[in-house]
Structure formats: structure tokens, C-alpha cells
Amino acid sequence: MTEPRAAGEPIRSRDLETAEGFAAYFRTLGAGSRYTPEQFADFFAPLDPESFRGRRIVELGFGHGSFLWHWGRFGPARLAGVDLGDALEAARAKLAHLPPGVLELSRGDLCEANLGEFDLAYCIGVIHHLARPEDGFRALLRHTRPGGCFHGWIYSREGNGFVIVVIDRVRRLAERLPLWATRWLLGLGVALPTFLYAKLLRFLAGGGSQPTGALARLPAAAYALSIADRDFAFFHFLATDFLVARRTVYLDRATLEHWLADPQVEPGSAYLVHRNGNSWKFGGRKRSER
């Protein structure tokens, strides 16, 4: 396992600026999870959280701790995490209700960390912000025990044309602004039309959760409908979370398929799901030692 970083020892990582941009925002978030139990379950499907009750779980890039908060409901034997940004104490406060000895959070570069092997290693919404995204995938495999599961979620190139051409340019503008301006000016500017668009689609879809007919051809229709039941505060959170990123890439199916063909992945265990038309869920099991 990686030796703990000495007090006061500087962190050196090509991803530090990106992580600190997120952490400055994450430290302002309150208690609990930003995601509903239904959203949590959807992020991790086809995995069944109940099957990991009493198991060892690690999150690579835990951010504001929202996913760890949900995993805590399933009584893990060990719930660990590593994050490069300085939001460690905020996450610990969010998870202070967990039994003593369960939670193990540390600050560090997930691409370099070695916290041991776990029954489940996951990384949600982080790999697409790394300077070298494949290093994030390697970290997932490194933290998965033989026969254990790994799981990830990333932005996809497929289905994000409008975001890449238009919204990502707004994100690059936000790189030069202080957090308050990103959150309360650009964040609100992106959140409000997205909120109204989602509510309109839901009305046109008759309250349904899947776009059909002409609605299915509208930009990000599946994604907008997937969050249309949330309040404006959630849309503002999503917009700000997107805009504070200092680096974002969009990964295509071919890249994910190449990663999942790694010989460490158990043959036949890999899955790749295009979620809401604009992101990828992927995972599988690590090959058992022979």
C-alpha cells in the first residue's frame, strides 16, 4: 500500500488544478447526498448495491461524498476513498454518522494511490477530467481484488455534440472566473434554460421518462427527462459542477471497449451501457488469480 503523505508535504499532480477547482465548490455543499436513492441505483446499475452489504468498497475521487453517503446505507465493512482536492474534512463531516472504523478517506492522486484491493472499486465522474484518462481505468483495476467488481461513469463523445460545441465553451470561459462568478452568474445562466427545457420536455412527454417520436430527436432529450423531476437547486448544482472543471474530455465507445479488453478483466464479465444518451457506464470483474 502507498505510504501516507507526510503532514505539510506538497501534492504534485498534473490534475491538481482541476481537483482544487472542484474542491473549492464541494466545500460549500451541505449535508446528505446530492442524489436521490433512485439516481444512486441508476448510476451503479447493473450492479446491485445489496450484494455488497458487509463488503469492502472504495471510491476513487470521492468529491463531495454523495455516493459514499449512499453506500454507507448498505453496511460496508470498509468504506474507503481518495481524492486529490482539499475537500477531505467536508466529506468526513458528511459521513460522520457511519460506525467507527468503517470510513477511511485520504487525500492524494487516485492515479498514483494504492489503498489495497476491494470487493468493489468505482469511479464516478472523474476519469473524464484526468490529464490521462486511461490512468484512471488502471487505478480501478489496481484497487479491485481478483474476482471483485469495478465500475465507472464518464461523459461520452456520442450524444454530446451540442454540449461539446456550445456548453463546453462556456466552461472554458469559467476557467478564468472566481468561483462566485461561475456559480452565481454562469451557473445560473446554464441551469435556468436547462431546467425549463427539462420541464417542457416532461410536459410534452406526458410525464413519461423516455422521449419518443419527435422528442427523441431533440438535443439531450433522454438526459433532460431523466432529471426533470428534480428541483432547480439540483440543476444549479449540476451546472456549477460542470463549469468548475478545469479539464474535460469526452470518451467514445471504441476507447472504452479497448480498456475493457484488458487481460485483467474477466472474460465475459464486462459491460458498457450508454446512459441517457450522453454518458457511459462501464465495468466488470477482475480476473481471478489462477
Mean pLDDT of the region 47-59? 98
Mean pLDDT lowest for which of 4-13, 52-61, 226-235?
Answer: 4-13
Taking the alpha carbons of 280, 256, 282, 98 in that order, is the dihedral positive or negative? Answer: negative
Mean pLDDT of the region 218-241? 94
Whole-model pTM? Answer: 0.92
CB-based burial of residue 194 (10 Å sphere; 0-12 exposed, 13-18 middle, 19+ buried)?
A: buried
Q: Are 136 and 282 in contact (CB under 8 A)?
A: no
Question: Which residues face 124 on adjacent strands?
Answer: 153
Q: Are 81 and 60 in contact (CB under 8 A)?
A: yes
Confidence category of residue 217, pLDDT binned at 50, 70, 90 = confident
Instruction: Return d(Cα 70, Cα 55) in angstroms, integer.
Output: 14
3-class secondary-structure state, position 209? coil
Mean pLDDT, the chain, rounded, equals: 92
Instruction: Return d(Cα 3, Cα 16) in angstroms, integer.
Output: 19
**Which domains does the chain show, CATH number per domain?**
16-157+250-285 (3.40.50.150), 161-243 (no CATH)
